[in-house]
Structure formats: structure tokens, C-alpha cells
Structure 1
Amino acid sequence: MVRPSTNGPSLPLLPSMFRMVFIGFFCLHLAVLAQGPEKPPPPNVILIMVDDLGYHDLGSYGHPSIRTPHLDRLAREGVRFTDFYSGATVCTPSRMALLTGYYPNRLGWERGVVGHLMPKGTGLSPSVTTLAEVFKEAGYETALIGKWHLGDAASFRPHQQGFQHTYYLNKSNNQTRKVWRGDEVVEDPFDNRLLTEQFFSEAELFIHQQTDAPFLLYLPLTAPHFPVEAHPDFDGRSPFGVYGDVVEEVDERIGSLLEEVETQLPQQKTLVWFLSDNGPEPGEAAQAKPFRGLKWDALEAGTRVPSILWWPGQVPAGRICRGLTGALDIMPTLLEACGLNLPAPIEGLPPLDGQSQWAMIQDPALHGGRESLLYW
């Protein structure tokens, strides 16, 4: 009697099984290729705007005695702009241009700032899409810590315009004595000497709390806007007097903030953009050499401001960008850099006046920038 082999029936099946497994892996490989390379995680964005800093008032912009090693480091490791212009010659419209990408006049802003020349109860219309609203819609955590100055009526406040976390002055530090969180006053009166420290402490706390979603942190400082008063820990430290004390404090606090970012978020990319809202205040020690004019003037010194972009590995280190650009272009540039879409057009308004300068920033061979910027 011949017994059938127990292995016989399985032998012819082996080649077919290998073929099926091979075909399965091949199809999976094709599917992965069709999806393209894995999309990098969205970067965190920190937008720091100082108040009334002159073009000449940083070490990287040629000041002989104000010491700003941390901002100078950002310039060495990132992009320093030589022909960067604020959105306007004074606070409110400058911030309006920054956060919307529109000329302020298109949004009904004719002159001056909230609380001075423009009447109380005016501000940035909630119908206009802000930078914060676009980032929030994209899944970012958004924060405003510092000086708002885009309307003090309830409907104009920052938490109504895309900012989920707020700690702010609703006007300039010479116009109010209150610090707000949402609709609640949390300090009255504040100590002007301590505001910069408080803003950075809040900023570091916000960053420390971020673990999952990317964030947009808008940090518009009151310094070095008048009244110029030094923090007790910095009083008398600068060879350039009290104005230098205030600027050097801002620089040191930026250094501490960067240390917090690099410690807390070592695996995440963070983009930092630094600028001033306009030129220096008349009568203060700030300088905008070699340009003519001051704050309030539609002249070079009133509108041409220092600006530095830092994003390790994504922008050329030590790049000096001479193309014409400005705060009006920050919103579209950031959106392109972060892979986000421009907001839908607003009825009755043209597309954004701002233009993305991301290609010019990334490629040292490109020096184009804009053809013009308007002020009136």
C-alpha cells in the first residue's frame, strides 16, 4: 500500500503564495509613491512687533552702543531685511495692515490711532479676516500677548478676531492703565516698567502649555514706546541711557523665549519674525539713521524699520535681503511658508494688497520684491 505524502498538496501552492505577497507589497509601494513625500509638520510661528524702534537701534543694524546679542544672532542665522517698511506711520493702522494684508485705508481707517484722532468705538472690523483666523481655522492654537490697539469696544477685541489666548492692553501704554484677558480686566493699574517682563512671562507660559497643535504667537510689545521707563533689573545697564536699557531688556527676553522654545519643542520647527510697527517717536533717543523723518511722517524714517526672519533649516543663514517688502506682505508670506491658503475674498474688497515674498526670501539669487508701497 502506498501512502500519499502529507506535504504533497502544499508544494504547488508556494509559488502562488509568494506571487500574491509580492504583488501585495508592490501595490502598497505604488500607493505610497502616489501619495508623494510625507508632508512636514506645520511650523510654530512667533511674530514679535516692538513699538517705535528706530531703523538704527539694533547691533545688527549698526547701532554703536545698544547691545542686542540675541537679535543679532537671529540675523546671523536668518534673514535681515534692509528695505522693509511698516504698514503705516503710526500704531493702529500699522497693526491693521500686518494682521489683514490690506492697506488700512481700504478698511476705512483714515488717520491716527484709536483714542487719538480716530474716535472711541472704532477699530478693525470683525468682518475682515485676520491672520489669526486663518491659522486658527488650520488647527493652530493662537495667542495675542501685548498691545492690541485695534479697537476697545467688545466686538473689536482680539478674542473676537481669531486669538484664542489673550493677555493685552487695548491701547498704548500711555493711553490706558489696564491689562485685559478676554473681556476681563486682570490688572489695574499696571506698572509700565514691568510690562515687557509680564508679556514674555505670559508668552513662555503659553509655549510651555503647547504639546500637540502648532501655535501662532503674536507678541506686540509696548517697548520702547513712551513713556520710556526701565525695568529695575535693567536700569542703568546700557551705555545708551534709559532707551538703551529698555531695548536691551527686550533683546534679553527674546533670548530667554528662544531658549524656552528650543528646550520645550526640540523636535519642532519654529519660525520667528521680528519687526517694528513704525519709526521712532519724536523727542526720544531712538535713531533711524541715515533716513529723514520720524514716526507720523510718510518719509523713510517713519516707515522703514528693522525686520529679521529666523527659521533654521528653512531660510538661508546670514542672508541680507534687499528686495522691497514690508509688514503688508507678512500675512501672505507666512501663509505660503506654512502651506496654508489665502483667505476668501471679502465682498467689496479686492484681493489682498500684500504679496507673498517667500520665494525671494528662500532664494538668495532673487532680489526682486515689490515694485512699490503706498502711504497716505
Structure 2
Amino acid sequence: MPHDGLVGDRHDLRQPVLPPARPGATMSLLWIVADSVRADVFGCCGGPCRTPTVDRLAEQGTLFPRAVSAAAWTLPSLAAMLTGVYPHRLGLARWEQPWPAGRETLFDRAARAGHEVASFPFDPQFLFANVPAARVAGSSQDTGRLLAWLREHRDRPFFAFVHYWWTHIPYLMWPLDTRRWRKATDVVLAALCAGPREREGVRRLYRHAVERFSESWLPRVLEAVDLDRTWVVIAADHGESWGGRSGAEPVREVFDLHGNDLADEVLRVPVLVRPPGGGPGRRIAGLVRTVDLAPTLAALLDLGALPADIDGLSLARSIREGTPAVAADAVSVRSADFVARPDAPGSPSELWTGYALTTPRERLVWDVGRDSFDFFELDPQPNGTATVVERRGGEPPAALVERLRAEARRAVVGEFDAAESARTAERLRALGYLE
């Protein structure tokens, strides 16, 4: 059922205003990115899941129910969040790539401002393996280690980034060795191809995984920090299609659940920001982007202005005052795949195979290889979300087509190393991603 605890929307400016950030503030940040969590599942977003802990955070913070991810899978999505730059401009699309040396992340900024920085990726072999500034302190699957670190740093300013994994297929909340992970994943993929009843079973499994995140894992993490001194951010890297894809193609592999698709259920994600001590519950309607998180958090934590050439726009004023979000359309990208290969892509079009442009009422999706376009109408809802109404026929607007082609002209191919690609391929093979 929809959640009734939030008050106001982006046009309601009569609610209490948070005080402006203090110069030299030393508040901490707990930034949790839950893998594969769609925008339509949390209770506070009107979803079917029982998520009272997440909902309480929304009642004390600012909810953006219509955030659009910059990419359809984890690595490029998180790169955009942490830099404020779209992934096709960074050239980051495979695990083994080093992040651009000349592009600062929020990790760099936070450390320079005096925060104790730590990250807890799902697997330190992949995410942030080439990002020394992330200061990987362990895997997010080792909850005990995460809690110990948070308790140890409770009384000093920290910047902790946690990539929560157990909402990812196979939606089981315990560590699995390679063989069992592959077996459980194959069972879920087979169920998605079997029929409506089996697909509904996968949806239930997914919803239970989201509920365990909110009611089993999250309360323990929140208890480990001083919520009067800590900003709490909950977001998702991308959504999940689990049988509800816009196309009719069968789901055969993990990447079919998100990475291959630029549909609404994959791109729309929740973003929730709770200030230290809590604040008035706000729902900011309208379109925002996950690439906006970098300048937003830099402003909230007094990390200094980010470079002028970033793509993100700060939402800090919306969070502090409840004002409308800065209007900007969202660009999202699809990469060829995450698989490490010995050969680097020869051109940006080989690496970035799809683009989507989302406006408040439309989405245009471009398949680069086919040079074909799909045009969708979006219907904004009173609760701040938007639903896909229909796929329009005929030629898409020329102005939107040119905007996507202009984005493609900004795309680059990042750095690749053949030896590192080979090592990463072996690690992926050991995890069951590759045959």
C-alpha cells in the first residue's frame, strides 16, 4: 500500500526548513547503494514491500521517488554517482579498467576534508579494485566487519560507502561459494523463463530480499552509527526487470535482468537522504538523476564545489528547504557488457551500445548498432513517480534524436590493459559469470 507518512511535494514550500550547512561541518555520511532495487518496491514509494525502517528514514528525510540511473548496471552507475560525470564521458564500462586519473571522486574530496573514508563493495576483487581513494575496508557481505568499522568510527567524521549485494539475483541473504551462487542463479533464471506462476515466485523472492534489507540488515547498521551526526543516503545502482521487461526477449543470463535493457523498471531507482538528527519528511516530485548525487553530497558535507564540467546538479537546496529540484533531463547508457576481454573496443560505439534520454514526459531509447529508436510516453503521477503509458509509433522528435547523438559524440573509450583483462576474466570465470 502507498505510504502516507510523507508530507508535501516539490511545490509545497510551507514545511519547516533545515538550517544551512555550517562552514567546516564535520558530520559523517553513511551512503548505502542497494543493488538492483527498483523505485517501485519500498513502502514509502508506494510499493508492495513491508519496509518500515526505510519508510521511517523517509519520514525524517527527503525522498526522490523519480530518480533515473545513469547506467543499466553497477560499475558505470556507481562511477557516475561518485564523480557527477556520465559514464560514457568517463569511458568506464568494464571491471578491470582503472578509473580516470584526472577525475576526482567523492572519496578524494572527503579524505581531503578530514573524513575517515571507507568502502564496502560486494566483492573487493572487482568494485573499487582500481580506486585507491575508496580505501576498501572489506566486503559488504561481511556484516560483522562493516558494523565493527562503523562502531569504531562512530565518534569521528567518516565517509562510508556500502554497496549492499543481497538484493541482487539470486536474492538470498547469505554468502554463497561460486558453485552454489551459480546454481541458485540458474534456478532463478530458469523460473523467469518457465511461466507466469514461476515468474511470480521470483517476484516474491525479490520482494523478500528487499524486506530483509530493510528489516534485518539496515536496523543493525543504523544502530552502529550516531544518527544525530550522520547523513544517511539510500539509493540503488539500477533496477531489475525479472520477467517484467518491455521487450519480449527471454531472460537467459544475469545481464538480461538489467544491463542489457534501458527500460523504466531498470533505470528508475529510489533516492532517499536523511539529515543528521532527522528533519521534515519531504517527497520531491519530478525528475532527478543519480549523477546529481556527487554535487549534492559535496554541498551537504562542505566538500567544496566540484569541477564545472560535471553533468550532475546539486539537490542540496531541495533537501534543506524543500524547493523544487533543478530541472534537467536524464541520460542513461548501456555498455556492450561487463566481461573482461583481451582486446579493447576500437571506438566508443563498440563500447557504448545504447543511450536513453528521459524527460519529465518522454523517454527516447537509441540502439546504436541498429541505429533505431524507441519512443515512450511517460505519465507523471501525483505521488511524484511516472508510469510508461505507451510506445509511440512514427518518427521520434528530431530534437531528442539529436540530443542523444550529441551525447554519443561526447563518449570515450577508457584505458584498457590486456594483462589485467585476462586476470579479471579468470576471476569472473571462478565466480560463474563466464563459461
TM-score (norm 1): 0.66
Deviations 1:187-233 (A, max 9, x none): xxxxxxxx3xx2x322211111115531001001112111222449x
CA deviations 1:255-289 (Å, max 9, x no partner) are 1211221xxx37x511011011111143489xxxx
Deviation at 1:324, TM superposition (A): 2.3
Q: 3-state DSSP class of the match of 1:133?
A: helix
Determine which of 233, 238, 243 is the counterpart of 1:273. Answer: 233
> Which residue is 1:144 aligned to?
119
Distance 1:245 1:353, change over 3 A: same
Cα shift at 1:79: 1.0
- Three-state SS of the structure 1 residue aligned to 2:224 is helix
RMSD: 3.0
Task: Count residues in correspondence.
Answer: 276
Instruction: Quickly say closer, same or farther: Cα 1:322–1:208, change in 2 above 3 A.
Output: same
SS of 1:82's partner is strand
CA distance in 2, matches of 1:326, 1:87: 7
Match of 1:290 in 2: none
Local SS of the residue matching 2:295: helix
Cα separation, 2, equivalents of 1:294 and 1:83: 20
Deviation of the 1:39 alpha carbon: 4.8
SS at match of 2:134: coil
Q: Give, in angstroms, the shift of residue 312 of structure 1.
A: 4.2
- TM-score, length basis structure 2: 0.57
Whether contact under 8 Å (2:33, 2:163) holds in the other structure is yes
**Pair 371,284 (structure 1): closer, same or farther in 2 beyond 3 Å:** closer
1:98 pairs with one of 75, 81, 87: 81
1:269 counterpart letter in structure 2: R
Q: Match of 2:310, as an amino acid?
A: L
Q: Deviations over 1:126-175 (max 9, x none)?
A: 432111111011111011112268957xxx626x4312342138xxxxxx
Identity %: 26
Measure how far apart 1:369 and its partner are: 2.1
- Moved >4 Å (runs of 4+): 37-40, 148-152
Q: Does 1:80 align with 2:44?
A: no
Q: Which runs of 5+ in 1 are unaligned?
A: 1-36, 115-120, 170-194, 233-237, 286-292
Distance of aligned partners of 1:301 and 1:209 in 2 relative to their CA distance in 1, 3 Å threshold? same
Q: Does 1:255 align with 2:212?
A: no
Q: Are residues 139 and 227 of structure 1, via their aligned partners in 2, closer, same or farther at CA, if it must alter by over 3 Å?
A: same
Q: 8 Å contact 1:145–1:202 — kept in the other structure?
A: no
Matched ranges for 1:14-163 at <5 A: 39=23, 41-64=25-48, 66-109=49-92, 113-114=94-95, 121-147=96-122, 157=129, 160-163=131-134
User: For residues 313 and 228 of structure 1, what CA distance do their matches in structure 2 show?
Assistant: 32
Distance 2:212 2:287 in 1: 30
Alignment CA distance shift 1:41-1:128 (3 Å): closer
Answering whether residue 169 of structure 2 is matched by residue 226 of structure 1, we say yes
Residue in 2 that maps onto 1:246 = 209
Corresponding residue for residue 354 of structure 1: 312
Deviation of 1:104 (Å):
0.5
* 8 A Cα contact 1:77 1:312, kept in partner: no
- Letter in structure 1 aligned against 2:159: L
Select the structure of larger CA radius of gyration. Answer: 1
Quote the Cα distance in structure 2 between the aligned partners of 1:245 and 1:47: 22
Q: What is the CA-CA distance between 1:78 and the residue it aligns to?
A: 1.0
Query: 1:70 and 1:38, CA in 2 relative to 1: closer, same or farther beyond 3 A?
Result: closer
The residue identity in structure 1 corresponding to 2:280 is A
1:371 and 2:314 aligned: no
Amino acid paired to 1:309: V
2:245 counterpart of 1:302 = no
Secondary structure of 1:147's counterpart equals coil
Distance in 1 separating the partners of 2:266 and 2:240: 7
Alpha-carbon separation, structure 1, partners of 2:124 and 2:80: 13
In 1: Cα distance, 2:82 partner to 2:153 partner: 23
- Distance in 1 separating the partners of 2:22 and 2:280: 25
Q: Quick one: structure 1 residues 360 and 219, their matched pair in 2 at CA, closer, same or farther if it must change by over 3 Å? A: same
> In structure 1, what is the equivalent of residue 160 of structure 2?
217
Kindly tell me: are residues 133 and 69 of structure 1, through their superposed partners in 2, closer, same or farther at Cα, counting changes over 3 Å? same
The CA distance in 2 between the partners of 1:91 and 1:149, in whole Å, is 14
| Whole-angstrom CA distance in 2 between matches of 1:205 and 1:211 | 10
2:250 aligns with none
1:317–1:240 distance in 2 versus 1, CA, 3 Å? farther
Question: Residues 362 and 257 of structure 1: is their aligned pair in 2 closer, same or farther, counting only changes over 3 Å?
Answer: same
State how far apart, in whole Å, the 2-side matches of 1:38 and 1:282 are: 44
Query: 1:294·1:301 contact (CA, 8 Å) conserved in 2?
Result: no
Shift of 1:87: 2.1
Match of 1:166 in 2: 137
Structure 1 residues 168 and 60, CA, compared in 2 at 3 Å: closer, same or farther?
same
DSSP-derived class of the 1:224 partner: coil
User: Aligned to 2:119, what secondary structure does the other structure show?
Assistant: strand
Q: Is the 8 A contact 1:230 1:245 kept in 2?
A: no
Letter aligned with residue 205 of structure 1: A
